[in-house]
Amino acid sequence: MAEEKVVDIKEVEKKLDEMHIKDIEVSGGRELTGILSKAVFVIGLAMSIFHIYVLTIRAIDPWYFRTMHVVFAGVLVFALVPGWKKSPNDRMHWVDYLFVLLIVAPAIYIFSVFDEWIYRVGVVPNQWDFFFSVLFVIAVWEMARRATGWPLAILSGLFILYGYFGNYMPGLFYHKGYSWPRMITFLFSLDGILSLPILASAHYIFIFVLFGAFIEASGAGRFFVDLARCATGRLRGGPGKVSIVSSAFIGTASGSSVANVVVDGVFNIPMMKHAGFKPHIAGAIESMNSAGGQIVPPVMGAGAFLMAEILGIPYAKVALAAVIPAALYYFAAYWMIDFYSASAGLWGMKKEELPVFRRIMVDKGYLLIPLVVLGVSLMVLMYSPYRSALYAIISLIIVSWIRKGDRLGFKRIIETLAKGARTSIEIAATCAAAGIIVGVLTQTGLGMKFAMIIIEYSGGSLILALVFSMIIAIILGMGMPTTAAYAISASVLAPALIQLKVPPIAAHLFIFYFACLSALTPPVALAAFAAAAIANARTWDVGWQSMRFAIAGFIIPYMFIYGPAMVLIGNATEITLAIITGLVGTMALAAAVQGWLLKRATLIERGILLVAALTLIKPGWTTDLIGLGLLVLVAVIQFLKKKEE
């Protein structure tokens, strides 16, 4: 195979800038022109202003707010996302206009008969109720198909069929069956499409998407990467460790593993390849770190806002509970990259390849202020998520005026508001389709029956129930956005774990973690596939390697189930011990996987390191002491061998 041409780092950065700009330009799908382009711009701007007004100035009835959220998103989806391959890319097809009518007409109908509608829906609907509910459900199904692909659309369609034909199902899957009018109108209600997933999307996720749009408009993506290069670039395997820091920063703004790969990976993957990382390893490291961006407080993935609503607790408590597991995930990632780099003979970047810390802080350091404002508002002052995000946006606009070339003036603010609404449509479509599934689960009682099925098949064994839940969450998340995967999994899996005496927040975090990690799991590993495209590597190679590098992420959820101190349930001594042993255990796990501690490990040493990792990870003084003793034993043996050599 011919050697890859080594190019100057400055040329690489220039090309990446061009790729990044191009990617953002085409990310909306269609590139409309003329009056349609202006109309979409106005609709996006109106959507953002509407949400800010309702959330901060004057609240309105949830029916109106959530319905309008779906309608705005639906109109933008049908305008911007082609329905099929040969659909025009510069204009709307007549079918798109038809679907716009299908999403708008039901909203007009229920608003006009609202006082009667709320008493009939799902109970004794009339023919018009049924007719307009059918239109709405069809439009939402098509939204999901266009915005997220076939998996979620097929799953929601199967659930609709189950709602009607469930009286033909065997065993625990049987239910008495519902007529089409009762079931479809129930889906067009606050218990179906407009239920908790859309509540989270409208109340919390949308405003954080706007925050991400303002961060992007300010040029923060490149700043975060440069800051990470200053922090870790010269360490062993420096470019890979840069990805850890930058992914955590950018994940705060994006909350999506695939978006994180696209924004962060176009900088980091070529740097890693330039430093000697194999293409599929570079892609795996980037996808591992980008998936972790969804579990990093203060802004976790969109599903975390839904988790707070389901649990009925402040979002800040969810974020605090996730701090230690997130730290363990990235600590393990650090050692995975470090030990791999040592075994492959890879070192850090040269000083001349790194940006000057003082210069980038003078140029763009103000971009850290909005993140500080966001963190303090959420975690210290305990403000609501949407109010915290709004304060962060306002602070970003204010500090942007420090430098003349970066100022967010009136025109750029308006453009960012319109663009932010366009960025939110995938999440809104995802949550609306997830609402169909949640609605069927609620109406048929399948959610609680599913808990009984898991408990029955696991024989009441917690470890078996956890393994079943992990597999189901990963399968549901394959090819599906994390928010939808979590919403569905939480509905059917969390009750079973809670019945087995797992603390509710630990049960939901367990499910959320595996919904996030499904983006790394073949055969449909969206984050890994996105990284493979940038790295120019085989998708399956990147997928399997990302699972290997992120192996700690598949173990950490079990750690906080059996050791609730990791999610801050317990006293200070228990929490401190959980942190220390968890950190040491993840380092031992990385050493076992990569076959390196102080030097290359033999097969026996790797086995001992694996046992040490698992015993350190399992809570308890006895297992902790055994694991620490085994780790020290391998370290001493390798130290003596290295000294002899």
User: Where do the structural domains in the chain lie, given as residue ranges?
Assistant: 26-197, 442-644
**pLDDT digit string, tens, across residues 77-86:** 999 999 888 8
Residues 589 and 307: their CA atoms lie apart, in Å, by 30
pLDDT at position 479 is 65
pTM, rounded to two decimals = 0.81
Residues 643 and 278: their CA atoms lie apart, in Å, by 31
50-64, 415-429, 468-482: range with lowest mean pLDDT: 468-482
Q: What percent of the chain has pLDDT over 70?
A: 94
pLDDT at position 3 is 36
User: Which residue, among 307, 322, 69, 43, has the nearest Cα to 203 in the 3D structure?
Assistant: 69
Scan for tokens 């065993």, then name that residue.
171
- CB of 261 within 8 A of CB of 287? yes
Hey, is 596 helix, strand or coil? strand
Residues 278 and 284: their CA atoms lie apart, in Å, by 10
Residues in the chain: 645
pLDDT at position 254 is 55
Residues 392 and 537: their CA atoms lie apart, in Å, by 38
Query: How far, rounded to the nearest angstrom, does the alpha carbon of residue 100 sit from its chain's CA centroid?
Result: 28
Give 356's pLDDT tier (boundaries 50, 70, 90).
confident
Tell whether the model's pLDDT for residue 23 goes beyond 70: no
pLDDT at position 7 is 33
Residues 482 and 488: their CA atoms lie apart, in Å, by 10
**pLDDT digit string, tens, across residues 58-71:** 999 999 999 999 99
**pLDDT digit string, tens, across residues 375-389:** 888 878 888 888 888
Number of other residues whose CB lies within 10 A of the CB of residue 104? 16
Give 608's pLDDT tier (boundaries 50, 70, 90).
very high
Token output for 569: 């349930």
pLDDT at position 255 is 55
- CB of 234 within 8 A of CB of 351? yes
Give 512's pLDDT tier (boundaries 50, 70, 90).
very high
pLDDT at position 208 is 84
Q: Averaged over 546-573, what is the pLDDT?
A: 89
- Backbone CA torsion sign across 373, 379, 381, 385: positive
H/E run at residue 357: helix 357-364
pLDDT at position 15 is 39
**pLDDT digit string, tens, across residues 223-239:** 877 888 888 878 888 88
Q: What percent of the chain has pLDDT over 90?
A: 39
Scan for tokens 């870790």, then name that residue.
232
Residues 306 and 509: their CA atoms lie apart, in Å, by 12
Tell whether the model's pLDDT for residue 16 goes beyond 70: no
pLDDT at position 177 is 84
**pLDDT digit string, tens, across residues 438-479:** 899 888 888 778 778 888 888 888 999 999 999 888 887 776
**pLDDT digit string, tens, across residues 176-205:** 888 999 999 999 999 999 998 899 889 888
CA angle 202, 442, 516 (to 5 degrees): 55
Which residues contact residue 109 at a Cβ distance below 8 angstroms, ignoring those fewer than 6 apart?
A: 128, 132
Residues 147 and 529: their CA atoms lie apart, in Å, by 18
User: Which range has the top average pLDDT, 93-97, 119-123, 291-295?
Assistant: 93-97
pLDDT at position 27 is 38
Give 415's pLDDT tier (boundaries 50, 70, 90).
very high
- CA distances 128 to 105, 122, 135, Å, are 12, 13, 11
User: Which residue, among 204, 216, 271, has the nearest Cα to 241 in the 3D structure?
Assistant: 271
Phi, psi (degrees; rounded to nearest 5) at 228:
-65, -35
